[in-house]
Structure 1
Amino acid sequence: MENPLVTIVIPAYNYQSFLPETLNSVLAQKYQNFELIVVDDGSTDKTKDVVAEFLAKDPRIKYFYQSNAGLSAARNLGIKNALGEYIQFLDADDLLSDLKLSLQVEEMETDAHIDISYTIARYFVDGNKEKLYKSINLNQDEWMPKLNGSGYEVLEMLVKQNIMPVNSALIRASSLKKVGFFDMFLKSLEDWDFWISCAFRNFYFSFLPVEEAFALIRVHKISMSQNRKKMSEYEVIVRKRIKNLIKNCSFINPGQKKMLGKSNSRHNKVILSGLIKESKPSLKECFSLIKNAGISQFLASYLKAMNDSRKSKS
């Protein structure tokens, strides 16, 4: 029996310097039954030429171009053209360990209940791949929860925070179709929003505790994850969505809904008050935050920000 096809989707925007190493990390996989889709999101550098060199040598590589529409739109175009039974997302500056696909496919072929398998992640500073860290903050603090399940257990963790970088996951394509696509409105935290959508469809998440299977994330000055203010602004938007998803969720009981709602509101208050305190938003920006968070959440967060400011001055 032939191994199932895996589709690797790589969105690329002006990352010609990183792309060859990323493509080579895919080609070096022990698992070789894959198609590799590169979506060029309107790059103005030599991304197309870089891909063309690889494409000429390997027919498994496919190239798609779109006018610049953002990371989510590029991933969505990859999803639309994917033929694999499993989907692996990989950003154009990140890498995969050589055993990642083979070990995850083996796990998911063994257990049909798994919708999403995910692995550990390791971070490295651009230019020094030999020294690996367990956190994007470049320390050895483990941050990823190791979940095996679905329902309230997964929702409880995802309401607190994201549980993995996007390239940690291998997703069953038949499951992914139930979710659809990444939200193109979100210019940050779109992966967290996507996992939340999966969890509220009662997907089964499975952490693969194997050291040889891991995602590698490059930390550099232009990486999107370094823009903290932007991430906080989008977190407010995602948390408003979470509030509505909790309200309409059919597979958790009223008590669980209440606890998730309180957790979401508490985390939102911290993020929103921090934004207000640090950025001192204009009247126009305040109206935008009210629109995204709701008036009651904004007022509670505003009062917390003012109180925190007074305490810091005393």
Structure 2
Amino acid sequence: MQFSFIKYTQPGWLFNLKPSKDISFSSCYYHPDYLPLQKEINVEIDSSFETLTAKYADLGYQAWNKGSLTWCDAEAKKHIGEMPNPSLKDEYTFIYKYWGKPWALFALLRRIVSFHNPLSELSAYSKASAKKKVNSHTNTIDRSGFHSYQSQLITSAPLIAVIIPTLNRYVYLKDVLEDLEKQDYQNFEVIIVDQSTPFNEEFYKTFNLRLNVIHQKERLLWTARNNAVKATTADYLLFFDDDSRVEKDWITQHLKCLDYFDCDISAGVSLAKVGMKIPANYSYFRWADQFDSGNAMVKRKLFSTIGLFDEQYNKQRMGDGEFGTRAYLNGYRSISNPYAARVHLKVSDGGLREMGSWDGFRPKKWFAAKPIPSVVFLYKKYYPKQLYNSVILLGIMLSNVSYRNKGSNKMLALSIALTVIKSPLLLIQFLRARSIANKMLQKDNGIQLLAERVPESVEV
């Protein structure tokens, strides 16, 4: 994005990053001479922006939000990067347009406390205040041809490996495996890496599935997923969680997406029973801006070229976010797939819940490192300093309420107020997290390339 103020609203957005290699990559850019838009996309130049740079950047952002699948090469990136910066008023207009007044006010306060000229900031903020917030997810690109598409990939019936790490969730895993028994696509195996205590071998003998169960005594999530990848020769790997439910065409929809868009990752959407409202952009195809290891099909070749999951994330979080970032920076195509949905139950016991955290910014213990050190590690490794600082600050400010309350403006306001009250404790927690993350950054890379080999059978 050419709008720098996005660091106040979406600092951790994947598309804030620009791959350094001279490769083509999925983008949200626009330039009439170097990166035109698809003909079928319905966007308009917004005359409320003063500068041409802002108008072009806004067109690109509009198109991205409506499902445009634009590719940017090195030449286009160079010319777009040479354009002058948007005006200060345009920056505030951008925030007002897509996030509304509360976030524009937040940006203003951040700017003033960081010693920008308050008169210039207030003037630009005031001039932009007439801009009304818009719904950016209307008039999306029509992909109705997807439904009637006859996939040659599905016809060829490649072997799929469904990969499920599990930890003390047999009650929920039973439903997961019963959903897989009902799949209309049949050529798949299920690789389960069971880290439960006690390990229940008898549990698996009642299912009508091609099961390969690996008993892993150490509770290491990312090692578990890597071991599962190594245990199969399948060219398509479908990552799944042990507390999710899917429809009978789940595998079919993932394969169809890979074939229809000629992409490398089909990123299925995850629908939570509790918490925030389902985002509007979950209802149509678009570039995926996150990788969810609980619902994603990945071509095997990625693990041979960019490596497996980083095992430094063991007993922590965001290992899937790191892999998704790495895939994007290496030019691989990932499509958000609305038809390969799962319902994520987010159960309160088992899984990562037993590793001492509720999410990346909420450890279970009061004096534990906050954020989880692996979160600091991820953003510090890949993101510019300004974006990294904003990700951490914003994440901490919004972390004082539970997941189910994050859809409430009142609760978010309470969370920000609690940040001020708890600031001495939060500073200690953050310094502890940063110290651990810095040690992780100094270690040898925890990423191994997948070696092609015939796996040994470990069936139960």
Do the aligned partners of 2:235 and 2:300 also contact (CA within 8 Å) in 1?
A: yes
Q: Is the 8 A contact 2:291 2:324 kept in 1?
A: no
Which of 114, 120, 125 aligns to 2:269? It is 120
Letter of the 2:362 counterpart: K
Report the CA distance shift for 1:241/1:143 in structure 2 as closer, same or farther (over 3 A).
Answer: farther
- The count of residues paired between Structure 1 and Structure 2 equals 249
CA displacement 1:83-124 (0-9 Å, x = unmatched)? 212111111122222212112212323443x11112322123
Question: Considering only aligned residues, what root-mean-square deviation do their CA atoms show, in Å?
Answer: 3.1
Change (3 A) 1:102 1:282: closer
Partners of 1:279 and 1:95 in 2: how far apart?
Answer: 42
Please list, as runs of the form range in 1=range in 2, the aligned pairs for 1:212-223 lying within 5 A after superposition.
213-222=340-349
Tell me the equivalent position of 2:236.
86
**Is 1:48 aligned to 2:201, yes or no?**
yes
Structure 1 distance, partners of 2:427, 2:382, is 26
Instruction: Give yes or no for the alignment of 1:263 onto 2:387.
Output: yes
SS of the residue 2:189 aligns to: strand
Conserved 8 A contact 1:14-1:47: no
Q: Shift of the alpha carbon at 1:291?
A: 5.3
Question: Residues 22 and 94 of structure 1 are in contact (CA less than 8 Å); yes or no, is this contact kept in structure 2?
Answer: yes
Shift of 1:45: 3.1
**SS of the residue 1:82 aligns to:** coil
Question: Contact 1:144 / 1:164 at 8 angstroms: preserved in 2?
Answer: no
Tell me the distance in 2 between the aligned counterparts of 1:47 and 1:166: 24
Aligned counterpart, 2:245? 95
User: Unaligned stretches of 5+ in structure 2?
Assistant: 1-154, 364-369, 400-418, 440-460
Q: State the one-letter code of the partner of 2:371.
A: S
In the alignment, is residue 137 of structure 1 matched against residue 299 of structure 2?
no
1:31-57 Cα shifts (integer Å, max 9, x gaps) = 11101101112x213542212332xx4
Letter in 2 for 1:15: R
Verify: 1:106 aligned to 2:256, yes or no: yes
Give a deviation string over 1:116-137, Cα, whole Å, max 9, x none: 112322123xxxxxxxxxxx52
* Contact preservation (8 Å) 1:147, 1:205: no
Shift of 1:232: 2.5
Give how far 1:215 is off. 1.6
Q: Does 1:205 align with 2:334?
A: yes
Structure 2 SS opposite 1:38? strand
> Is 2:301 the counterpart of 1:168?
no
User: What is the DSSP-based 3-state SS (H/G/I as helix, E as strand, rest coil) of the residue aligned with 2:294?
Assistant: helix
CA distance in 2, matches of 1:285, 1:239: 14
Residues 61 and 268 of structure 1: CA distance in aligned 2, closer, same or farther (over 3 Å): same
Partner of 1:22: 176
Return the match for 2:379 from 229, 239, 242: 239
Alignment gaps of 5+ in structure 1: 125-135, 158-162, 244-259, 295-314
> In structure 1, how many angstroms separate the alpha carbons of the residues matched to 2:431 and 2:338?
44
1:36 to 187, 190, 199: 190
**1:179–1:69 distance in 2 versus 1, CA, 3 Å:** farther
Q: Read off the aligned partner of 1:6 and give its amino acid letter.
A: I
Contact 1:97–1:216 under 8 Å retained in 2: no
Q: Deviations along 1:208-234, whole A, 9 cap, x unmatched?
A: 343xx3122112222637344238323
C-alpha distance 273-177 of structure 1, shift in aligned 2 (>3 A): same
More strand by percentage: 1
Q: Partner amino acid for 1:80?
A: K
